[in-house]
Amino acid sequence: MEMVRWMLAHRCQEVAGIGIDYREVDRPPELFEAAYALARQGGLRTTAHAGEFGMPRTNVRTALDLLKVDRIDHGYTVVDAPEFAAECAARGVPFTVVPTNSYYLRTLPPDRWALDHPIRRMPGLGLRIHPNTDDPTLHHVTPTGAWLMMVRDFGFGIDDLRGFMRNGLDAARIADGQRAQWQGEWAAEFDALRARHLPDSLSTET
């Protein structure tokens, strides 16, 4: 609460909103209800790490329905509840995902890691995902590396990547005019690069 009050008293254009992360195991989302309510009242955007570290999907619902976040970071355990995943898809909830998330690297066998990682299943459930690095030094990945892993390790195709790009722009905390401009410019650049570098046989979703 003190942090949110300080942010609202000293508004800065570069700070779009607030989030919670990392200690989801023993600091569940509901502990931050009052702080999130104050942030929303002050016009700040909100996000939360939820459904990470194998924590239950109920944390994702709490973040959405109690904290009323506009984005979920990680959220992997929603794949364990197809009905809830369908609800998230219908609500258009954006999920930022990290291929090198440490929990699954630690808990899944190396020969099954890329096959059993929840990221692989999320788009098939209609979930809007956007690959990112979260904390690059902690997760040992760059933006380019994260997107490479989506293809190399998880089997997504070029059309999937185009959709992930659009998801990121739709969820970005930017003015609508800037969003529309970038959606047009980035899609055109993406399609031009695809036409230049990939044969037609590789330009369809795999």
Catalytic residue among 52, 83, 87, 185: 52
Give the integer Cα–Cα distance in Å for 199 and 64.
42
Secondary structure E strands in the chain: 17-20, 45-50, 71-74, 94-97, 128-131
Give the integer Cα–Cα distance in Å for 77 and 149.
20
Look-up: residue for tokens 């009323």?
A: 68
Between CA 121 and CA 173, with CA 185 as vertex, the angle to 5 degrees is 60
List Cα–Cα distances, 4 to 33, 106, 142, in angstroms. Answer: 12, 34, 30
Burial readout 50-59 (b: 16 or more C-beta within 10 A, e: otherwise): bbbbebebbb
Q: By the 8 A CB rule, do 24 and 50 touch?
A: yes
> Is residue 83 annotated as a catalytic residue, yes or no?
no
According to DSSP, the residues that pair with 72 across neighbouring strands are: 48, 95
List Cα–Cα distances, 134 to 7, 30, 101, in angstroms. Answer: 22, 22, 9
Q: Which residues are catalytic?
A: 52
